[in-house]
Amino acid sequence: MAGRKAYNKRIYDEDVYDWRVHDERVYDKRKRNLARRRKRRIIKLVRMTLAGGVIIAAVFSVKKVLGDRIMLTENGIVWDTGELSVIEQSGDASDTLRELLENNPETADFIKNYPDMKDNPPAESVGDMTKGVIPHLLQWDERWGYQTYGDNMIAVNGCGPTALSMVAAGLTGDNTITPYKVAGFAAEQGYYAGESGTSWSLMTEGAQQFGIRGEELGLSREEVFSALENGQPIICSMRPGDFTTTGHFIVLVGTKDGKIRVNDPNSLKRSEKLWDYETLEYQINNLWGYTVL
Protein backbone atom coordinates (compact mmCIF):
# COMPACT_ATOMS: atom_id res chain seq x y z
CA MET A 1 0.00 0.00 0.00
CA ALA A 2 2.79 2.39 0.87
CA GLY A 3 4.41 1.79 -2.50
CA ARG A 4 1.15 2.35 -4.32
CA LYS A 5 0.50 5.52 -2.41
CA ALA A 6 3.97 6.76 -3.21
CA TYR A 7 3.47 5.87 -6.86
CA ASN A 8 0.13 7.69 -6.96
CA LYS A 9 1.64 10.67 -5.23
CA ARG A 10 4.46 10.76 -7.74
CA ILE A 11 2.00 10.66 -10.64
CA TYR A 12 -0.08 13.38 -9.01
CA ASP A 13 2.97 15.55 -8.43
CA GLU A 14 4.10 15.10 -12.02
CA ASP A 15 0.64 15.97 -13.30
CA VAL A 16 0.59 19.15 -11.25
CA TYR A 17 4.02 20.05 -12.48
CA ASP A 18 3.06 19.42 -16.10
CA TRP A 19 -0.04 21.62 -15.85
CA ARG A 20 1.95 24.43 -14.29
CA VAL A 21 4.41 24.30 -17.13
CA HIS A 22 1.51 24.28 -19.60
CA ASP A 23 -0.17 27.26 -17.92
CA GLU A 24 3.06 29.24 -17.87
CA ARG A 25 3.56 28.62 -21.58
CA VAL A 26 0.01 29.71 -22.39
CA TYR A 27 0.43 32.79 -20.19
CA ASP A 28 3.71 33.71 -21.88
CA LYS A 29 2.15 33.27 -25.31
CA ARG A 30 -0.83 35.42 -24.42
CA LYS A 31 1.47 38.02 -22.93
CA ARG A 32 3.54 38.13 -26.11
CA ASN A 33 0.39 38.40 -28.27
CA LEU A 34 -0.97 41.18 -26.08
CA ALA A 35 2.33 43.05 -26.31
CA ARG A 36 2.30 42.70 -30.11
CA ARG A 37 -1.31 43.99 -30.31
CA ARG A 38 -0.46 46.95 -28.09
CA LYS A 39 2.52 47.73 -30.25
CA ARG A 40 0.42 47.60 -33.42
CA ARG A 41 -2.20 49.88 -31.88
CA ILE A 42 0.45 52.37 -30.80
CA ILE A 43 1.99 52.36 -34.27
CA LYS A 44 -1.45 52.85 -35.86
CA LEU A 45 -2.25 55.71 -33.48
CA VAL A 46 1.08 57.38 -34.18
CA ARG A 47 0.53 57.07 -37.93
CA MET A 48 -2.98 58.51 -37.68
CA THR A 49 -1.73 61.37 -35.52
CA LEU A 50 1.07 62.14 -37.94
CA ALA A 51 -1.29 61.96 -40.92
CA GLY A 52 -3.78 64.25 -39.18
CA GLY A 53 -1.00 66.65 -38.31
CA VAL A 54 0.22 66.68 -41.90
CA ILE A 55 -3.32 67.40 -43.18
CA ILE A 56 -3.87 70.18 -40.64
CA ALA A 57 -0.46 71.67 -41.42
CA ALA A 58 -1.20 71.50 -45.14
CA VAL A 59 -4.57 73.24 -44.69
CA PHE A 60 -3.06 76.03 -42.63
CA SER A 61 -0.17 76.35 -45.07
CA VAL A 62 -2.66 76.77 -47.90
CA LYS A 63 -4.61 79.20 -45.73
CA LYS A 64 -1.42 81.19 -45.11
CA VAL A 65 -0.54 81.30 -48.80
CA LEU A 66 -4.04 82.11 -49.99
CA GLY A 67 -4.83 84.48 -47.15
CA ASP A 68 -8.57 85.17 -47.02
CA ARG A 69 -9.38 83.00 -50.01
CA ILE A 70 -10.69 80.17 -47.83
CA MET A 71 -12.69 79.85 -44.62
CA LEU A 72 -12.51 76.91 -42.22
CA THR A 73 -16.01 76.12 -40.91
CA GLU A 74 -17.84 73.34 -39.07
CA ASN A 75 -19.13 72.22 -42.47
CA GLY A 76 -15.65 72.00 -43.97
CA ILE A 77 -13.64 74.40 -46.12
CA VAL A 78 -15.45 77.23 -47.89
CA TRP A 79 -13.61 78.51 -50.97
CA ASP A 80 -13.95 82.23 -51.38
CA THR A 81 -15.54 83.39 -54.62
CA GLY A 82 -15.87 86.95 -53.36
CA GLU A 83 -18.03 86.58 -50.26
CA LEU A 84 -15.17 86.64 -47.72
CA SER A 85 -13.88 89.98 -48.93
CA VAL A 86 -17.46 91.28 -48.79
CA ILE A 87 -17.72 90.14 -45.17
CA GLU A 88 -14.52 91.98 -44.23
CA GLN A 89 -15.81 95.19 -45.80
CA SER A 90 -19.37 95.09 -44.42
CA GLY A 91 -18.81 97.01 -41.21
CA ASP A 92 -21.43 96.27 -38.57
CA ALA A 93 -22.88 93.46 -40.68
CA SER A 94 -19.57 91.57 -40.91
CA ASP A 95 -20.17 89.31 -37.91
CA THR A 96 -23.71 88.52 -39.03
CA LEU A 97 -22.63 87.63 -42.57
CA ARG A 98 -19.68 85.55 -41.37
CA GLU A 99 -21.89 83.56 -39.00
CA LEU A 100 -24.47 83.11 -41.77
CA LEU A 101 -21.85 81.66 -44.11
CA GLU A 102 -20.31 79.45 -41.44
CA ASN A 103 -23.71 78.01 -40.56
CA ASN A 104 -24.94 77.68 -44.13
CA PRO A 105 -22.54 77.70 -47.11
CA GLU A 106 -25.60 77.81 -49.40
CA THR A 107 -25.81 81.54 -48.61
CA ALA A 108 -22.52 82.34 -50.39
CA ASP A 109 -24.13 84.17 -53.34
CA PHE A 110 -26.50 86.03 -51.04
CA ILE A 111 -23.51 87.30 -49.08
CA LYS A 112 -21.48 88.11 -52.19
CA ASN A 113 -24.31 90.28 -53.52
CA TYR A 114 -24.84 92.07 -50.19
CA PRO A 115 -23.08 95.37 -51.15
CA ASP A 116 -25.04 95.76 -54.39
CA MET A 117 -28.48 94.59 -53.24
CA LYS A 118 -28.80 95.34 -49.52
CA ASP A 119 -30.46 98.72 -50.13
CA ASN A 120 -32.87 97.51 -52.81
CA PRO A 121 -36.58 97.64 -51.91
CA PRO A 122 -38.09 94.26 -51.10
CA ALA A 123 -40.01 92.40 -53.77
CA GLU A 124 -43.77 92.83 -53.74
CA SER A 125 -44.40 89.34 -55.08
CA VAL A 126 -43.03 85.83 -54.62
CA GLY A 127 -43.27 85.39 -58.41
CA ASP A 128 -45.35 83.11 -60.58
CA MET A 129 -47.15 80.35 -58.73
CA THR A 130 -50.14 78.04 -58.89
CA LYS A 131 -52.93 78.14 -56.32
CA GLY A 132 -52.87 74.99 -54.23
CA VAL A 133 -49.16 74.38 -54.78
CA ILE A 134 -46.91 75.41 -51.89
CA PRO A 135 -43.92 77.32 -53.30
CA HIS A 136 -40.48 76.83 -51.82
CA LEU A 137 -39.27 80.19 -50.55
CA LEU A 138 -35.95 80.92 -48.87
CA GLN A 139 -35.43 83.35 -46.04
CA TRP A 140 -32.09 84.33 -47.59
CA ASP A 141 -33.59 85.08 -51.00
CA GLU A 142 -32.07 88.34 -52.25
CA ARG A 143 -35.57 89.69 -52.92
CA TRP A 144 -36.28 90.08 -49.19
CA GLY A 145 -33.47 88.47 -47.17
CA TYR A 146 -31.55 91.72 -46.54
CA GLN A 147 -34.58 93.37 -44.91
CA THR A 148 -34.84 93.66 -41.14
CA TYR A 149 -36.99 91.41 -38.99
CA GLY A 150 -36.76 92.06 -35.28
CA ASP A 151 -33.09 92.57 -34.47
CA ASN A 152 -31.53 91.02 -37.58
CA MET A 153 -32.02 90.27 -41.25
CA ILE A 154 -34.83 88.03 -42.51
CA ALA A 155 -32.02 85.85 -43.87
CA VAL A 156 -30.96 85.12 -40.30
CA ASN A 157 -34.14 84.92 -38.21
CA GLY A 158 -36.99 85.00 -40.71
CA CYS A 159 -37.76 81.28 -40.95
CA GLY A 160 -41.17 81.71 -39.26
CA PRO A 161 -42.50 84.45 -41.57
CA THR A 162 -41.04 82.65 -44.59
CA ALA A 163 -42.74 79.38 -43.64
CA LEU A 164 -46.10 81.14 -43.15
CA SER A 165 -45.61 83.02 -46.43
CA MET A 166 -45.18 79.74 -48.31
CA VAL A 167 -48.37 78.29 -46.87
CA ALA A 168 -50.51 81.43 -47.21
CA ALA A 169 -49.40 82.26 -50.75
CA GLY A 170 -49.76 78.65 -51.87
CA LEU A 171 -53.22 78.01 -50.40
CA THR A 172 -54.77 81.36 -51.36
CA GLY A 173 -52.96 81.88 -54.66
CA ASP A 174 -52.03 85.41 -53.53
CA ASN A 175 -48.42 85.88 -54.59
CA THR A 176 -48.16 89.23 -52.78
CA ILE A 177 -47.91 87.43 -49.43
CA THR A 178 -44.12 87.62 -49.30
CA PRO A 179 -41.84 86.76 -46.38
CA TYR A 180 -41.19 90.47 -46.02
CA LYS A 181 -44.91 91.23 -45.77
CA VAL A 182 -45.45 88.54 -43.16
CA ALA A 183 -42.33 89.61 -41.24
CA GLY A 184 -43.51 93.22 -41.16
CA PHE A 185 -46.91 92.18 -39.83
CA ALA A 186 -45.33 89.86 -37.24
CA ALA A 187 -42.98 92.57 -35.96
CA GLU A 188 -45.73 95.20 -35.77
CA GLN A 189 -48.12 92.89 -33.93
CA GLY A 190 -45.57 91.65 -31.40
CA TYR A 191 -45.13 88.14 -32.76
CA TYR A 192 -41.36 88.50 -32.77
CA ALA A 193 -40.10 87.41 -29.34
CA GLY A 194 -36.45 88.49 -29.38
CA GLU A 195 -34.00 85.68 -28.67
CA SER A 196 -36.85 83.17 -28.71
CA GLY A 197 -37.58 84.04 -32.34
CA THR A 198 -41.07 84.02 -33.81
CA SER A 199 -43.95 83.31 -31.43
CA TRP A 200 -46.02 80.20 -32.10
CA SER A 201 -49.16 82.35 -31.93
CA LEU A 202 -48.25 83.80 -35.35
CA MET A 203 -48.97 80.34 -36.78
CA THR A 204 -52.57 80.41 -35.54
CA GLU A 205 -53.79 83.90 -34.63
CA GLY A 206 -51.54 85.70 -37.09
CA ALA A 207 -52.23 83.28 -39.95
CA GLN A 208 -55.82 84.51 -40.22
CA GLN A 209 -54.54 87.90 -41.38
CA PHE A 210 -53.46 86.17 -44.58
CA GLY A 211 -56.62 84.21 -45.28
CA ILE A 212 -55.73 80.86 -43.76
CA ARG A 213 -56.59 78.94 -40.63
CA GLY A 214 -53.94 77.12 -38.62
CA GLU A 215 -54.90 74.36 -36.19
CA GLU A 216 -52.53 72.54 -33.87
CA LEU A 217 -52.14 68.87 -34.77
CA GLY A 218 -51.28 65.83 -32.73
CA LEU A 219 -47.85 64.39 -33.35
CA SER A 220 -48.59 61.01 -34.91
CA ARG A 221 -47.81 59.37 -38.23
CA GLU A 222 -51.51 58.88 -38.97
CA GLU A 223 -52.49 62.50 -38.32
CA VAL A 224 -49.55 63.97 -40.25
CA PHE A 225 -50.06 61.77 -43.32
CA SER A 226 -53.82 62.29 -43.24
CA ALA A 227 -53.43 66.08 -43.27
CA LEU A 228 -50.85 66.06 -46.06
CA GLU A 229 -52.79 63.62 -48.23
CA ASN A 230 -55.85 65.88 -47.85
CA GLY A 231 -53.92 68.87 -49.21
CA GLN A 232 -53.17 70.52 -45.87
CA PRO A 233 -49.60 71.80 -45.57
CA ILE A 234 -48.09 71.60 -42.08
CA ILE A 235 -45.75 74.08 -40.42
CA CYS A 236 -43.46 72.50 -37.82
CA SER A 237 -41.46 74.15 -35.08
CA MET A 238 -38.25 72.12 -34.90
CA ARG A 239 -35.92 71.21 -32.07
CA PRO A 240 -32.14 70.99 -32.60
CA GLY A 241 -31.34 68.18 -35.01
CA ASP A 242 -31.05 67.86 -38.78
CA PHE A 243 -32.50 71.31 -39.46
CA THR A 244 -31.17 73.55 -36.70
CA THR A 245 -28.89 73.86 -33.71
CA THR A 246 -31.32 76.14 -31.85
CA GLY A 247 -34.86 76.40 -33.25
CA HIS A 248 -36.42 76.56 -36.71
CA PHE A 249 -39.65 76.42 -38.73
CA ILE A 250 -40.12 74.16 -41.76
CA VAL A 251 -43.11 73.26 -43.94
CA LEU A 252 -44.27 69.73 -44.72
CA VAL A 253 -45.86 69.95 -48.16
CA GLY A 254 -46.76 66.42 -49.22
CA THR A 255 -45.87 62.74 -49.36
CA LYS A 256 -44.11 60.51 -51.85
CA ASP A 257 -43.26 56.81 -51.64
CA GLY A 258 -44.25 56.71 -47.97
CA LYS A 259 -41.99 59.61 -47.10
CA ILE A 260 -42.50 63.34 -46.49
CA ARG A 261 -41.60 66.25 -48.74
CA VAL A 262 -40.19 69.25 -46.87
CA ASN A 263 -39.79 72.91 -47.76
CA ASP A 264 -37.00 74.19 -45.52
CA PRO A 265 -36.83 78.02 -45.71
CA ASN A 266 -33.11 77.85 -44.92
CA SER A 267 -31.89 75.12 -47.26
CA LEU A 268 -32.26 73.93 -50.83
CA LYS A 269 -30.37 70.71 -50.12
CA ARG A 270 -32.54 69.58 -47.23
CA SER A 271 -35.62 70.38 -49.30
CA GLU A 272 -34.50 68.16 -52.17
CA LYS A 273 -34.62 64.94 -50.16
CA LEU A 274 -37.53 62.88 -48.89
CA TRP A 275 -37.77 62.39 -45.12
CA ASP A 276 -38.93 59.42 -43.08
CA TYR A 277 -41.61 60.32 -40.55
CA GLU A 278 -39.57 58.63 -37.83
CA THR A 279 -36.61 60.91 -38.56
CA LEU A 280 -38.74 64.03 -38.26
CA GLU A 281 -40.93 62.98 -35.35
CA TYR A 282 -38.45 63.33 -32.49
CA GLN A 283 -37.30 66.71 -33.83
CA ILE A 284 -40.78 68.27 -34.04
CA ASN A 285 -41.62 70.54 -31.11
CA ASN A 286 -45.08 71.55 -32.35
CA LEU A 287 -47.03 71.51 -35.62
CA TRP A 288 -50.04 73.15 -37.29
CA GLY A 289 -52.16 72.11 -40.27
CA TYR A 290 -53.65 74.73 -42.62
CA THR A 291 -56.77 75.32 -44.68
CA VAL A 292 -58.17 78.36 -46.48
CA LEU A 293 -60.64 80.52 -44.53
Nearest to residue 254, comparing CAs of 265, 263, 242? Answer: 263
Nearest to residue 156, comparing CAs of 132, 179, 140, 142? Answer: 140
Q: Which residues of the chain have pLDDT under 70?
A: 1-29, 52-92
Contacts of 136 (CB under 8 A, 6+ apart): 166, 263, 268, 271
Read off the pTM: 0.73
Strand intervals (E) in the chain:
70-73, 76-79, 148-149, 152-153, 212-216, 234-238, 248-256, 259-263, 274-275, 284-292
How far, in Å, CA of 53 to CA of 56, rounded?
5
Given this model, what pLDDT does residue 117 score? Answer: 93
| Strand partners of residue 156 | none
Buried b (16+ CB within 10 A) or exposed e, 115-128: eeeeeeebbeebee
Calculate the dihedral angle through the C-alpha atoms of 172, 173, 175, 177, rounding to the nearest 10 degrees: 0
Contacts of 132 (CB under 8 A, 6+ apart): 170, 171, 173, 231
Length of the chain: 293
CB of 139 closer than 8 Å to CB of 154: yes
CA atoms within a 13 Å half-sphere pointing along the CA-CB vector of 150:
21
How far, in Å, CA of 127 to CA of 169, rounded?
10
Given this model, what pLDDT does residue 127 score? Answer: 97
- The angle at the Cα of 53, spanning 50 to 59, to the nearest 5 degrees, equals 145
Given this model, what pLDDT does residue 225 score? Answer: 98
Given this model, what pLDDT does residue 36 score? Answer: 80
Given this model, what pLDDT does residue 1 score? Answer: 46
